[in-house]
Protein backbone atom coordinates (compact mmCIF):
# COMPACT_ATOMS: atom_id res chain seq x y z
CA UNK A 1 0.00 0.00 0.00
CA UNK A 2 1.29 3.42 -0.94
CA UNK A 3 -0.06 6.36 1.02
CA UNK A 4 0.79 9.98 0.48
CA UNK A 5 -1.34 12.94 1.28
CA UNK A 6 -1.86 16.54 2.11
CA UNK A 7 -1.11 15.73 5.71
CA UNK A 8 2.63 15.79 4.86
CA UNK A 9 3.18 19.51 5.55
CA UNK A 10 1.37 19.41 8.85
CA UNK A 11 3.35 16.37 9.85
CA UNK A 12 6.60 18.17 9.03
CA UNK A 13 5.73 21.07 11.30
CA UNK A 14 4.76 18.74 14.10
CA UNK A 15 7.96 16.78 13.73
CA UNK A 16 9.97 20.02 14.04
CA UNK A 17 8.30 20.98 17.29
CA UNK A 18 8.02 17.51 18.68
CA UNK A 19 5.04 15.29 18.07
CA UNK A 20 3.95 14.97 21.68
CA UNK A 21 3.97 18.69 22.27
CA UNK A 22 2.05 19.29 19.05
CA UNK A 23 -0.58 16.75 20.05
CA UNK A 24 -0.94 18.40 23.47
CA UNK A 25 -1.29 21.83 21.86
CA UNK A 26 -3.95 20.56 19.51
CA UNK A 27 -5.96 18.87 22.22
CA UNK A 28 -5.85 22.06 24.29
CA UNK A 29 -7.00 24.14 21.32
CA UNK A 30 -9.82 21.77 20.53
CA UNK A 31 -11.04 21.77 24.11
CA UNK A 32 -10.96 25.56 24.28
CA UNK A 33 -12.79 26.01 20.99
CA UNK A 34 -15.26 23.31 22.05
CA UNK A 35 -16.32 25.55 24.94
CA UNK A 36 -17.61 28.05 22.38
CA UNK A 37 -19.72 25.52 20.55
CA UNK A 38 -17.55 24.98 17.46
CA UNK A 39 -15.72 21.96 18.78
CA UNK A 40 -17.43 19.42 16.54
CA UNK A 41 -16.41 21.11 13.32
CA UNK A 42 -12.89 21.65 14.50
CA UNK A 43 -12.62 18.03 15.63
CA UNK A 44 -13.81 16.83 12.24
CA UNK A 45 -11.07 18.84 10.56
CA UNK A 46 -8.53 17.27 12.88
CA UNK A 47 -9.81 13.80 11.89
CA UNK A 48 -9.69 14.69 8.18
CA UNK A 49 -6.16 15.96 8.45
CA UNK A 50 -4.86 12.76 9.97
CA UNK A 51 -3.59 10.25 7.41
CA UNK A 52 -5.81 7.25 6.75
CA UNK A 53 -4.65 3.99 8.25
CA UNK A 54 -4.18 1.52 5.41
CA UNK A 55 -5.58 -1.95 5.93
CA UNK A 56 -6.74 -4.89 3.80
CA UNK A 57 -10.27 -5.97 4.66
CA UNK A 58 -10.99 -9.70 4.39
CA UNK A 59 -14.63 -9.55 3.43
CA UNK A 60 -15.25 -13.11 2.34
CA UNK A 61 -18.69 -14.16 3.55
CA UNK A 62 -19.11 -10.90 5.48
CA UNK A 63 -22.07 -8.64 4.98
CA UNK A 64 -21.39 -5.50 3.00
CA UNK A 65 -24.22 -3.05 2.39
CA UNK A 66 -24.16 -0.91 -0.73
CA UNK A 67 -26.65 1.93 -0.78
CA UNK A 68 -27.28 3.32 -4.26
CA UNK A 69 -27.10 1.39 -7.54
CA UNK A 70 -25.52 3.99 -9.85
CA UNK A 71 -22.12 4.41 -11.45
CA UNK A 72 -20.21 4.43 -8.15
CA UNK A 73 -21.71 1.10 -7.12
CA UNK A 74 -21.08 -0.28 -10.60
CA UNK A 75 -17.38 0.59 -10.29
CA UNK A 76 -16.93 -0.69 -6.75
CA UNK A 77 -19.02 -3.87 -6.84
CA UNK A 78 -16.67 -6.04 -8.94
CA UNK A 79 -13.85 -5.73 -6.39
CA UNK A 80 -16.24 -6.43 -3.51
CA UNK A 81 -17.48 -9.50 -5.38
CA UNK A 82 -13.91 -10.64 -6.03
CA UNK A 83 -13.27 -10.29 -2.29
CA UNK A 84 -16.18 -12.69 -1.72
CA UNK A 85 -18.30 -10.22 0.24
CA UNK A 86 -21.91 -11.06 1.04
CA UNK A 87 -23.41 -8.01 -0.64
CA UNK A 88 -26.80 -6.44 -0.05
CA UNK A 89 -27.67 -3.64 -2.44
CA UNK A 90 -30.31 -1.16 -1.35
CA UNK A 91 -31.50 1.01 -4.23
CA UNK A 92 -34.79 1.73 -5.96
CA UNK A 93 -33.03 1.45 -9.31
CA UNK A 94 -29.67 0.36 -10.66
CA UNK A 95 -27.56 0.55 -13.79
CA UNK A 96 -27.91 -2.29 -16.29
CA UNK A 97 -24.57 -3.80 -15.21
CA UNK A 98 -25.49 -3.72 -11.53
CA UNK A 99 -28.88 -5.23 -12.37
CA UNK A 100 -27.10 -8.00 -14.27
CA UNK A 101 -25.02 -8.79 -11.16
CA UNK A 102 -28.24 -9.11 -9.15
CA UNK A 103 -29.86 -11.24 -11.87
CA UNK A 104 -26.82 -13.51 -11.87
CA UNK A 105 -27.23 -14.01 -8.11
CA UNK A 106 -23.95 -12.30 -7.27
CA UNK A 107 -25.66 -9.98 -4.79
CA UNK A 108 -29.04 -9.47 -3.14
CA UNK A 109 -30.94 -6.42 -4.31
CA UNK A 110 -33.57 -4.70 -2.16
CA UNK A 111 -35.41 -2.47 -4.64
CA UNK A 112 -36.17 0.47 -2.41
CA UNK A 113 -34.67 3.55 -0.84
CA UNK A 114 -32.45 3.40 2.23
CA UNK A 115 -34.13 3.13 5.60
CA UNK A 116 -32.84 3.13 9.15
CA UNK A 117 -31.65 -0.32 10.17
CA UNK A 118 -30.25 -1.32 6.77
CA UNK A 119 -26.75 -1.42 8.17
CA UNK A 120 -27.52 -3.95 10.88
CA UNK A 121 -24.99 -6.76 10.81
CA UNK A 122 -22.82 -5.00 8.20
CA UNK A 123 -19.04 -5.01 8.41
CA UNK A 124 -18.60 -2.38 5.76
CA UNK A 125 -20.83 0.03 3.88
CA UNK A 126 -20.69 1.96 0.66
CA UNK A 127 -23.07 4.89 0.54
CA UNK A 128 -23.51 6.34 -2.92
CA UNK A 129 -26.98 7.64 -3.71
CA UNK A 130 -27.87 10.91 -5.42
CA UNK A 131 -29.79 11.97 -2.32
CA UNK A 132 -27.39 13.68 0.07
CA UNK A 133 -29.89 13.55 2.95
CA UNK A 134 -30.13 9.76 2.54
CA UNK A 135 -26.34 9.55 2.33
CA UNK A 136 -26.00 11.56 5.52
CA UNK A 137 -28.56 9.40 7.33
CA UNK A 138 -26.93 6.16 6.20
CA UNK A 139 -23.50 7.37 7.13
CA UNK A 140 -24.80 8.49 10.55
CA UNK A 141 -26.22 5.00 11.07
CA UNK A 142 -22.87 3.53 10.06
CA UNK A 143 -21.10 5.76 12.57
CA UNK A 144 -23.54 4.78 15.32
CA UNK A 145 -23.11 1.08 14.54
CA UNK A 146 -19.30 1.36 14.17
CA UNK A 147 -19.44 0.19 10.58
CA UNK A 148 -16.66 1.52 8.35
CA UNK A 149 -18.37 3.55 5.69
CA UNK A 150 -17.30 5.00 2.35
CA UNK A 151 -19.38 7.92 1.20
CA UNK A 152 -19.28 9.04 -2.41
CA UNK A 153 -20.61 12.57 -1.95
CA UNK A 154 -18.54 13.68 1.02
CA UNK A 155 -15.15 12.07 1.58
CA UNK A 156 -14.60 14.30 4.59
CA UNK A 157 -17.65 12.84 6.34
CA UNK A 158 -16.72 9.25 5.52
CA UNK A 159 -14.98 6.92 7.97
CA UNK A 160 -13.21 5.03 5.16
CA UNK A 161 -11.74 5.90 1.80
CA UNK A 162 -11.43 3.64 -1.20
CA UNK A 163 -7.88 3.60 -2.53
CA UNK A 164 -7.07 3.40 -6.22
CA UNK A 165 -6.36 -0.29 -6.57
CA UNK A 166 -4.82 -2.54 -9.16
CA UNK A 167 -3.91 -6.18 -9.15
CA UNK A 168 -1.22 -8.03 -10.96
CA UNK A 169 0.12 -11.48 -10.39
CA UNK A 170 -1.03 -11.82 -6.81
CA UNK A 171 0.05 -8.32 -5.79
CA UNK A 172 -2.58 -5.78 -4.79
CA UNK A 173 -1.49 -2.18 -5.16
CA UNK A 174 -3.63 0.33 -3.25
CA UNK A 175 -2.89 4.04 -3.34
CA UNK A 176 -4.34 6.85 -1.23
CA UNK A 177 -3.41 10.47 -1.77
CA UNK A 178 -5.92 12.19 0.47
CA UNK A 179 -7.83 14.46 -1.88
CA UNK A 180 -6.21 13.78 -5.23
CA UNK A 181 -7.84 10.67 -6.78
CA UNK A 182 -6.26 11.31 -10.19
CA UNK A 183 -2.82 11.23 -8.65
CA UNK A 184 -3.75 8.05 -6.78
CA UNK A 185 -4.80 6.47 -10.07
CA UNK A 186 -1.63 7.65 -11.80
CA UNK A 187 0.62 6.23 -9.08
CA UNK A 188 -1.38 2.99 -9.11
CA UNK A 189 -1.06 2.73 -12.91
CA UNK A 190 2.67 3.40 -12.81
CA UNK A 191 3.28 0.72 -10.18
CA UNK A 192 0.99 -1.89 -11.76
CA UNK A 193 2.31 -1.24 -15.26
CA UNK A 194 5.91 -1.39 -14.02
CA UNK A 195 5.31 -4.71 -12.27
CA UNK A 196 3.56 -6.09 -15.34
CA UNK A 197 6.15 -5.18 -17.91
CA UNK A 198 9.09 -5.88 -15.62
CA UNK A 199 10.39 -2.28 -15.63
CA UNK A 200 9.72 -2.18 -11.88
CA UNK A 201 11.85 -4.99 -10.56
CA UNK A 202 10.38 -6.66 -7.52
CA UNK A 203 11.71 -10.21 -7.51
CA UNK A 204 9.53 -12.83 -5.90
CA UNK A 205 10.89 -14.50 -2.84
CA UNK A 206 8.34 -17.26 -2.84
CA UNK A 207 7.28 -19.39 -5.82
CA UNK A 208 8.12 -18.29 -9.34
CA UNK A 209 6.10 -19.86 -12.13
CA UNK A 210 7.74 -23.26 -12.29
CA UNK A 211 8.56 -25.17 -15.47
CA UNK A 212 7.78 -23.88 -18.93
CA UNK A 213 5.31 -21.18 -19.92
CA UNK A 214 3.91 -21.64 -23.42
CA UNK A 215 3.18 -18.04 -24.25
CA UNK A 216 1.13 -16.85 -27.19
CA UNK A 217 2.90 -13.67 -28.22
CA UNK A 218 0.24 -12.30 -30.58
CA UNK A 219 0.70 -11.42 -34.24
CA UNK A 220 3.85 -9.32 -34.06
CA UNK A 221 3.12 -5.89 -32.60
CA UNK A 222 4.83 -6.01 -29.17
CA UNK A 223 1.82 -4.28 -27.61
CA UNK A 224 -0.41 -7.20 -28.58
CA UNK A 225 0.99 -9.77 -26.16
CA UNK A 226 -1.12 -10.41 -23.06
CA UNK A 227 -0.23 -8.86 -19.72
CA UNK A 228 0.48 -12.31 -18.31
CA UNK A 229 2.69 -13.22 -21.22
CA UNK A 230 4.68 -10.04 -20.85
CA UNK A 231 5.17 -10.62 -17.14
CA UNK A 232 6.36 -14.18 -17.61
CA UNK A 233 8.77 -12.95 -20.27
CA UNK A 234 10.16 -10.39 -17.83
CA UNK A 235 10.78 -13.18 -15.29
CA UNK A 236 12.34 -15.67 -17.71
CA UNK A 237 15.87 -17.05 -17.59
CA UNK A 238 15.53 -18.72 -20.98
CA UNK A 239 13.31 -17.76 -23.91
CA UNK A 240 12.84 -20.02 -26.91
CA UNK A 241 11.22 -17.87 -29.59
CA UNK A 242 9.60 -18.54 -32.96
CA UNK A 243 10.23 -16.56 -36.12
CA UNK A 244 6.77 -14.99 -35.94
CA UNK A 245 5.42 -13.07 -32.96
CA UNK A 246 6.65 -10.05 -31.00
CA UNK A 247 10.36 -10.27 -31.81
CA UNK A 248 10.94 -6.68 -30.67
CA UNK A 249 10.33 -7.77 -27.08
CA UNK A 250 13.43 -9.95 -27.16
CA UNK A 251 15.59 -6.84 -27.41
CA UNK A 252 14.21 -5.63 -24.11
CA UNK A 253 15.28 -8.71 -22.16
CA UNK A 254 18.15 -8.26 -19.70
CA UNK A 255 21.56 -9.58 -20.84
CA UNK A 256 21.53 -12.62 -18.55
CA UNK A 257 18.47 -14.06 -20.34
CA UNK A 258 19.38 -16.77 -22.83
CA UNK A 259 17.40 -16.32 -26.03
CA UNK A 260 17.21 -19.35 -28.30
CA UNK A 261 15.93 -18.84 -31.83
CA UNK A 262 13.69 -21.84 -32.51
CA UNK A 263 13.83 -21.13 -36.23
CA UNK A 264 17.59 -21.70 -36.15
CA UNK A 265 17.52 -24.97 -34.29
CA UNK A 266 19.22 -27.42 -36.66
CA UNK A 267 17.87 -30.65 -38.19
CA UNK A 268 15.03 -31.04 -40.66
CA UNK A 269 11.55 -29.66 -40.09
CA UNK A 270 10.27 -32.72 -38.25
CA UNK A 271 13.37 -33.10 -36.11
CA UNK A 272 13.32 -29.41 -35.19
CA UNK A 273 10.23 -29.93 -33.05
CA UNK A 274 11.94 -32.70 -31.12
CA UNK A 275 15.00 -30.50 -30.66
CA UNK A 276 12.78 -27.67 -29.36
CA UNK A 277 11.07 -30.06 -26.93
CA UNK A 278 14.45 -31.34 -25.75
CA UNK A 279 15.73 -27.80 -25.18
CA UNK A 280 12.60 -26.87 -23.21
CA UNK A 281 12.91 -29.94 -21.00
CA UNK A 282 16.65 -29.53 -20.46
CA UNK A 283 16.40 -25.90 -19.32
CA UNK A 284 13.35 -26.49 -17.15
CA UNK A 285 15.07 -29.42 -15.43
CA UNK A 286 18.03 -27.16 -14.76
CA UNK A 287 15.65 -25.07 -12.64
CA UNK A 288 15.39 -22.19 -15.13
CA UNK A 289 12.24 -20.19 -15.73
CA UNK A 290 11.58 -21.02 -19.38
CA UNK A 291 9.29 -19.18 -21.77
CA UNK A 292 8.38 -20.74 -25.08
CA UNK A 293 7.33 -17.63 -27.00
CA UNK A 294 5.10 -18.42 -29.94
CA UNK A 295 3.42 -16.31 -32.60
CA UNK A 296 -0.32 -15.70 -32.23
CA UNK A 297 -1.98 -18.30 -30.03
CA UNK A 298 -0.04 -21.46 -29.10
CA UNK A 299 -2.92 -23.73 -30.08
CA UNK A 300 -3.78 -22.23 -33.49
CA UNK A 301 -1.51 -24.06 -35.92
CA UNK A 302 1.22 -23.56 -33.35
CA UNK A 303 2.04 -27.12 -32.28
CA UNK A 304 1.50 -25.90 -28.73
CA UNK A 305 -0.16 -29.08 -27.54
CA UNK A 306 2.66 -31.23 -28.92
CA UNK A 307 5.07 -29.26 -26.75
CA UNK A 308 2.73 -29.39 -23.74
CA UNK A 309 2.43 -33.17 -24.13
CA UNK A 310 6.19 -33.63 -24.41
CA UNK A 311 6.75 -31.52 -21.29
CA UNK A 312 4.04 -33.35 -19.36
CA UNK A 313 5.58 -36.69 -20.36
CA UNK A 314 8.91 -35.45 -19.03
CA UNK A 315 7.28 -34.38 -15.76
CA UNK A 316 7.80 -30.67 -16.43
CA UNK A 317 5.01 -28.30 -15.33
CA UNK A 318 3.45 -26.28 -18.17
CA UNK A 319 1.58 -23.00 -18.01
CA UNK A 320 -0.33 -22.08 -21.14
CA UNK A 321 -0.88 -18.40 -21.84
CA UNK A 322 -3.28 -17.81 -24.73
CA UNK A 323 -2.37 -15.24 -27.33
CA UNK A 324 -4.11 -13.09 -29.89
CA UNK A 325 -4.21 -15.19 -33.03
CA UNK A 326 -3.22 -13.66 -36.36
CA UNK A 327 -6.33 -15.28 -37.83
CA UNK A 328 -8.50 -12.56 -36.31
CA UNK A 329 -6.09 -9.78 -35.43
CA UNK A 330 -4.34 -9.47 -38.78
CA UNK A 331 -7.59 -9.01 -40.74
CA UNK A 332 -8.70 -6.61 -38.01
CA UNK A 333 -5.50 -4.59 -38.26
CA UNK A 334 -6.15 -4.25 -41.99
CA UNK A 335 -9.70 -3.04 -41.33
CA UNK A 336 -11.48 -6.32 -42.07
CA UNK A 337 -13.97 -7.70 -39.55
CA UNK A 338 -14.14 -11.49 -39.79
CA UNK A 339 -17.87 -11.27 -39.06
CA UNK A 340 -20.27 -8.42 -39.79
CA UNK A 341 -23.99 -8.15 -39.10
CA UNK A 342 -25.95 -8.95 -42.25
CA UNK A 343 -22.82 -10.04 -44.11
CA UNK A 344 -21.18 -13.02 -42.44
CA UNK A 345 -22.42 -15.10 -39.53
CA UNK A 346 -19.48 -17.46 -39.45
CA UNK A 347 -15.77 -17.53 -40.05
CA UNK A 348 -13.64 -20.57 -40.62
CA UNK A 349 -9.90 -20.63 -40.06
CA UNK A 350 -8.10 -23.01 -42.37
CA UNK A 351 -4.49 -24.04 -42.80
CA UNK A 352 -3.25 -23.90 -46.37
CA UNK A 353 0.08 -25.54 -45.58
CA UNK A 354 -0.76 -28.41 -47.92
CA UNK A 355 -2.60 -28.10 -51.25
CA UNK A 356 -6.23 -29.31 -51.54
CA UNK A 357 -5.20 -32.32 -53.61
CA UNK A 358 -2.44 -33.35 -51.20
CA UNK A 359 -3.14 -36.72 -49.60
CA UNK A 360 -2.12 -35.31 -46.19
CA UNK A 361 -4.84 -32.62 -46.29
CA UNK A 362 -7.51 -32.96 -43.60
CA UNK A 363 -9.58 -30.07 -44.98
CA UNK A 364 -12.94 -30.69 -46.65
CA UNK A 365 -12.47 -28.10 -49.41
CA UNK A 366 -15.74 -28.90 -51.26
CA UNK A 367 -17.65 -28.27 -48.01
CA UNK A 368 -15.80 -24.97 -47.49
CA UNK A 369 -16.65 -23.95 -51.07
CA UNK A 370 -20.36 -24.28 -50.23
CA UNK A 371 -20.17 -21.96 -47.19
CA UNK A 372 -21.08 -18.33 -47.66
CA UNK A 373 -19.27 -17.03 -44.58
CA UNK A 374 -15.71 -15.83 -44.19
CA UNK A 375 -12.73 -18.09 -44.85
CA UNK A 376 -9.45 -17.14 -43.21
CA UNK A 377 -6.43 -18.93 -44.64
CA UNK A 378 -3.10 -19.19 -42.85
CA UNK A 379 0.11 -20.50 -44.42
CA UNK A 380 -1.56 -20.37 -47.84
CA UNK A 381 0.44 -17.84 -49.88
CA UNK A 382 2.32 -20.46 -51.94
CA UNK A 383 -0.80 -22.52 -52.65
CA UNK A 384 -3.40 -19.81 -53.11
CA UNK A 385 -3.81 -20.57 -56.83
CA UNK A 386 -4.77 -24.19 -56.18
CA UNK A 387 -6.97 -23.23 -53.23
CA UNK A 388 -8.85 -20.51 -55.12
CA UNK A 389 -9.37 -22.88 -58.08
CA UNK A 390 -10.77 -25.58 -55.78
CA UNK A 391 -13.16 -23.14 -54.09
CA UNK A 392 -14.45 -21.84 -57.46
CA UNK A 393 -14.82 -25.39 -58.76
CA UNK A 394 -16.80 -26.22 -55.61
CA UNK A 395 -19.28 -23.38 -56.17
CA UNK A 396 -17.86 -20.28 -54.50
CA UNK A 397 -18.36 -17.38 -56.95
CA UNK A 398 -15.20 -16.33 -58.78
CA UNK A 399 -16.00 -12.69 -57.96
CA UNK A 400 -15.84 -13.32 -54.18
CA UNK A 401 -13.65 -10.58 -52.66
CA UNK A 402 -10.27 -11.61 -51.26
CA UNK A 403 -7.72 -9.64 -49.24
CA UNK A 404 -4.16 -10.75 -48.59
CA UNK A 405 -2.58 -9.11 -45.53
CA UNK A 406 1.16 -9.52 -45.23
CA UNK A 407 3.07 -8.98 -41.95
CA UNK A 408 -0.03 -7.70 -40.20
CA UNK A 409 0.28 -5.43 -37.12
CA UNK A 410 3.95 -4.71 -37.90
CA UNK A 411 5.48 -1.63 -39.54
CA UNK A 412 5.70 -3.62 -42.78
CA UNK A 413 1.98 -4.46 -42.94
CA UNK A 414 0.41 -4.27 -46.38
CA UNK A 415 -2.88 -5.34 -47.92
CA UNK A 416 -3.52 -6.56 -51.46
CA UNK A 417 -7.14 -6.80 -52.66
CA UNK A 418 -8.35 -9.17 -55.36
CA UNK A 419 -11.08 -11.70 -56.08
CA UNK A 420 -11.00 -15.48 -56.02
CA UNK A 421 -10.43 -15.38 -59.79
CA UNK A 422 -7.50 -12.94 -59.59
CA UNK A 423 -5.85 -13.57 -56.24
CA UNK A 424 -3.11 -15.94 -57.46
CA UNK A 425 -2.00 -13.47 -60.10
CA UNK A 426 -2.20 -10.53 -57.65
CA UNK A 427 -0.03 -12.37 -55.12
CA UNK A 428 2.57 -13.09 -57.80
CA UNK A 429 2.53 -9.60 -59.34
CA UNK A 430 2.67 -7.82 -56.00
CA UNK A 431 5.37 -10.14 -54.70
CA UNK A 432 3.39 -11.04 -51.57
CA UNK A 433 5.42 -13.20 -49.24
CA UNK A 434 4.66 -15.09 -46.03
CA UNK A 435 3.65 -14.46 -43.40
CA UNK A 436 0.26 -13.45 -44.72
CA UNK A 437 -3.36 -14.03 -43.79
CA UNK A 438 -5.80 -14.43 -46.68
CA UNK A 439 -9.40 -13.42 -46.09
CA UNK A 440 -12.09 -14.65 -48.48
CA UNK A 441 -15.66 -13.34 -48.35
CA UNK A 442 -17.88 -10.30 -48.49
CA UNK A 443 -16.46 -8.92 -45.22
CA UNK A 444 -13.45 -7.83 -47.26
CA UNK A 445 -15.61 -5.09 -48.79
CA UNK A 446 -16.94 -3.83 -45.46
CA UNK A 447 -15.73 -0.70 -43.72
CA UNK A 448 -13.68 2.40 -44.46
CA UNK A 449 -10.46 0.47 -45.22
CA UNK A 450 -12.23 -1.34 -48.09
CA UNK A 451 -13.48 1.96 -49.51
CA UNK A 452 -9.96 3.43 -49.31
CA UNK A 453 -8.52 0.29 -50.92
CA UNK A 454 -11.08 0.52 -53.79
CA UNK A 455 -10.11 4.17 -54.41
CA UNK A 456 -6.52 2.94 -54.68
Ligand X SMILES: C[S@@+](CC[C@H](N)C(=O)[O-])C[C@H]1O[C@@H](n2cnc3c(N)ncnc32)[C@H](O)[C@@H]1O
Q: How far is the CB of 325 from ligand X (least distance, A)?
A: 3
Which CB, 152 or 327, lies closer to ligand X?
327
Residue 42 annotated among the catalytic residues of the structure: no
Cα–Cα distance for residue pair 423/257, rounded to 1 Å:
43
Of 175 and 244, CB closest to ligand X: 244
**Long-range contacts from 353-359, C-beta under 8 angstroms, 24+ separation:** 353/301, 353/378, 353/379, 353/380, 354/383, 355/383, 355/386, 355/387, 356/383, 356/386, 356/387, 356/390, 357/386, 357/390
Task: Tell me how many residues contact ligand X (CB under 6 A).
Answer: 24
* Residues 212-231, interacting with ligand X (CB under 6 A): 219-220
Task: Kindly name the residue from 153, 221, 242, 417 that is annotated as catalytic.
Answer: 242
**Strand residues in 70-195 grouped as ranges (E):** 86-94, 108-110, 124-127, 148-151, 164-168, 171-176
Taking contact as CB under 6 A, which single stretch among the options 311-319, 323-331, 360-368, 415-423 is the one that binds ligand X?
Answer: 323-331
What residues numbered 362-421 form the site for ligand X, per CB under 6 A?
378-379, 405, 407-410
435 part of the interface to ligand X, by CB under 6 A: yes
Give the phi and the psi of residue 44 in degrees, each rounded to 5.
-65, -40
Minimum distance, C-beta of residue 441 to ligand X, in the bound complex (Å): 17
Strands 171-176, 164-168: parallel, antiparallel or unpaired by DSSP?
antiparallel
Chain CA centroid to CA 30, Å: 50
Of 3-11, 165-173, 416-424, 432-440: span binding ligand X (CB under 6 A) = 432-440
In the complex, minimum distance from the CB of residue 300 to ligand X, in angstroms, rounded to a whole number: 3
Nearest-approach distance from CB 385 to ligand X, in angstroms: 16
Catalytic residue check, 237 = no
According to DSSP, residue 51 is labeled P
Binding flag, residue 347, ligand X (CB under 6 A) = no
Contact predicate 321/431, CB 8 Å: no
Which residue number, 164 or 376, has a Cβ lying nearer to ligand X?
376
Span near ligand X by CB under 6 A; candidates 159-167, 282-290, 340-348, 431-439: 431-439
Which span sits near ligand X by CB under 6 A: 197-205, 300-308, 367-375, 385-393? 300-308
Angle at 312 between CA 309 and CA 316, to 5 degrees: 135
Question: For the chain, what is the radius of gyration of the CA atoms?
Answer: 30
x/- mask, ligand X, residues 243-262, rule CB under 6 A, reads -x------------------
Q: For residues 53 and 176, what is the distance between their CA atoms, to the nearest angstrom?
A: 10
Measured in Å, how far apart are the chain's first and last C-alpha atoms?
Answer: 55
Please say whether the beta carbons of 423 and 438 come within 8 A: yes
Please select the residue that binds ligand X; options are 187, 289, 291, 300, rule is CB under 6 A.
300
Binding mask 57-76 for ligand X (x = CB under 6 A): --------------------
Task: Report the interface residues with ligand X, using CB under 6 A.
Answer: 219-220, 244, 295-297, 300-302, 325-327, 330, 378-379, 405, 407-410, 434-437
Active site residues: 242, 264
Amino acid sequence: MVATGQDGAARGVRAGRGRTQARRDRRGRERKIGGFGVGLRKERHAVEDAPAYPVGLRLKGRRVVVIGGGQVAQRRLPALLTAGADIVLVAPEATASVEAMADAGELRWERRAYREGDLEGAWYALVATKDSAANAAASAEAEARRVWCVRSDDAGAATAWTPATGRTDGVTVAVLTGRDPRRSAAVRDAVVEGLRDGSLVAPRHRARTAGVALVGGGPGDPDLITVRGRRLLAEADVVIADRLGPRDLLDELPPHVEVIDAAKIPYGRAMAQEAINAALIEHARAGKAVVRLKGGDPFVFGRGMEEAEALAAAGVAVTVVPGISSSISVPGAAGIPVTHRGVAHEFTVVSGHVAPDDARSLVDWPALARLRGTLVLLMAVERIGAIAGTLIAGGRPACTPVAVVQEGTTAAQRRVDATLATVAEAVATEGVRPPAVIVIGDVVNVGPAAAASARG
